[in-house]
Amino acid sequence: MLFEKFNFMAEFQAELKAQDVVPFGAVTEKILSATEAVVNGRKVILAGTNNYLGLSFDPRCIAAAQEAAGKWGTGTTGSRLANGTFIEHEQLESELAAFYGVGHAITFTTGFAATMGMCASLVGPGEVILLDADSHASIYAGAQLSGAEIIRFKHNDPEDLAKRLRRLGERASQTLIVVEGVYSMLGDTAPLEEIVAVKREYGGWLFVDEAHSMGVLGSHGRGASEASGMESDIDFIAGTFSKSLGATGGFCVSRHPELETIRYCIRAYIFTASSSPPVVASTRKALEILRSEPGLRRQLWDNANRLYSGLQALGLPVGPSPSPVVAVTLEDRARAINCWSALLDAGVYVNLVVPPASPSTNFLLRNSVSAAHSSAQIDAMIAAYAGLIDSGLIDAKRDG
Ligand SMILES: Cc1ncc(COP(=O)(O)O)c(C=O)c1O
């Protein structure tokens, strides 16, 4: 019957209910600041928000949103092609294009719509989309919608990418290669220099999703593309407003003028209401702050390094290098759930990630760091993990 395929989820939910744990969709009852909230009746440090620069509570962004709501109303009530293009949408697009030093930008109502919509539209039947195996669900969704042949290459493995492009022969030139700047779950960065070298040798078009690297990497905050020095070889850069910019929405920029035509062929752009004026206004202000205050990025990295080295010193299994996303990998589901719950009891709210959202069969306690965290809050996170070891929930020697 129709619902049988959901049995695995019903069983998982029952298991969580029996343990009185709500790791997915836990209700935030009150937000106290960019880094603190009340969740399940407890005051907690937010350690899994993607609020990398802490801008969701910046008074300038809040004021811009309030003013826009008064001036333009709460919503556009229409798609960009109908009545939903306000002058502020166009201004935000110009500002994004200028930030990336390219001629063209499209904004979307969510980051998911941006990557899904672009991947679904840039390639079609008879063409190939070549994805890093750890790509985000929005990239997979777009690939499936595109009707193109989907081929995955091993995560962050340029040699495997080269092998697959070589096999494609002449078809390589009609292939869209999709990678992320910083990967959302383990915080590792794409080796863009090597990936670009492969693209130069075999052909193809390169699309980089900078959702977790905009505002995080690069001397101007343009992401892994900028940090690698490879921007001029990248055909499309996508990103989101929901992380470093503290709002909602997404974008794609490109040096190719054809983007302006492609805009009219993206269903996730045409058939959905455009971003509301307060969201556009706070995003514009956040982009201005991202550009003018590099100190925020330095603060973010100080915090990221502090958390990474603190967890590493405890012997916990963290990723290969420091990053604002610091994930602790566990093999056992029950233990991962217990750890998540114990961290919440200790006043630290992290993301519990289970397959298939995690890139392997493992479970993740995913922490994301913000420039707005204080050193004391980072130390409290480390202390909460030390508590997991002391109470025997994690065996650093076995798990590390
Ligand atoms: C790599 C990547 N792309 C796209 C998205 C979608 O962005 P949004 O949540 O802003 O819709 C996410 C969100 O987590 C992401 O991690």
Of 104, 105, 72, 111, the residue nearest 88 (C-alpha):
72
Angle among Cα 113, 268, 82 to the nearest 5 degrees reads 125
Q: Is 391 within 8 Å of 339 (Cβ atoms)?
A: no
Distance CA 347, CA 32 (A): 14
Probe residue for ligand 1, chosen from 112, 185, 217, 251 as the CB with the greatest number of ligand atoms within 8 Å: 112
Residue 8 has pLDDT above 80, yes or no: yes
Residue 286 has pLDDT above 90, yes or no: yes
Distance CA 83, CA 68 (A): 17
Query: For the packed helices 333-345 and 375-390, what is the interaxial angle rounded to 10 degrees?
Result: 130
Closest residue by CA, ligand 1 atom 7: 111
Which amino acid would we find at residue 222?
A: R
Residue 192 has pLDDT above 90, yes or no: yes
Q: Where are the beta strands (DSSP E) in the chain?
A: 28-31, 36-39, 42-46, 104-108, 128-132, 149-153, 175-180, 205-209, 236-240, 250-254, 325-330, 348-349, 351-353, 363-368
> What's the pLDDT score for residue 372?
97
Of 93, 112, 85, the residue nearest 259 (C-alpha):
93
User: What is the DSSP code (8-state) at residue 79?
Assistant: B
Question: Of residues 319 and 299, which shows the higher confidence score?
Answer: 299
User: What is the DSSP code (8-state) at residue 19?
Assistant: T
> What's the pLDDT score for residue 291?
97
Q: How far is CA 242 from CA 201, 253, 308, in A?
A: 35, 17, 23
User: What is the DSSP code (8-state) at residue 319?
Assistant: -
Instruction: Determine how β-strand 28-31 pairs with β-strand 348-349.
Output: unpaired
Q: Where do we find the tokens 């289970």?
A: 354
The model's pLDDT over 226-254, given as tens digits with 9 standing for 90+, comes to 999 999 999 999 999 999 999 999 999 99
Instruction: Determine how β-strand 205-209 pairs with β-strand 250-254.
Output: unpaired
Closest residue by CA, ligand 1 atom 3: 211
SS3 assignment, position 36: strand
Closest residue by CA, ligand 1 atom 16: 184
Q: How far is CA 190 from CA 154, 161, 184, 301, in A?
A: 12, 12, 11, 18
Q: pLDDT tier at 40 (50, 70, 90 boundaries)?
A: confident
Residue 26 has pLDDT above 80, yes or no: yes
Q: What is the distance in A from the centroid of ligand 1 to the CA of 238?
A: 10
Residues in the ligand 1 pocket, defined by CB under 6 Å: 110-112, 115, 136, 138, 180, 184, 209, 211-212, 240, 242, 250
Residue 24 has pLDDT above 90, yes or no: no
Probe residue for ligand 1, chosen from 138, 155, 183, 242 as the CB with the greatest number of ligand atoms within 8 Å: 138
Q: What is the distance in A from the centroid of ligand 1 to the CA of 212?
A: 8
Distance CA 296, CA 285 (A): 15
Q: How far is CA 256 from CA 233, 235, 239, in A?
A: 12, 7, 17
Closest residue by CA, ligand 1 atom 10: 111
Please give the model's pTM, rounded to 2 decimal places: 0.96
Give the tokens for residue 332. Answer: 């056992």
Residue 186 has pLDDT above 80, yes or no: yes
> What's the pLDDT score for residue 400?
59
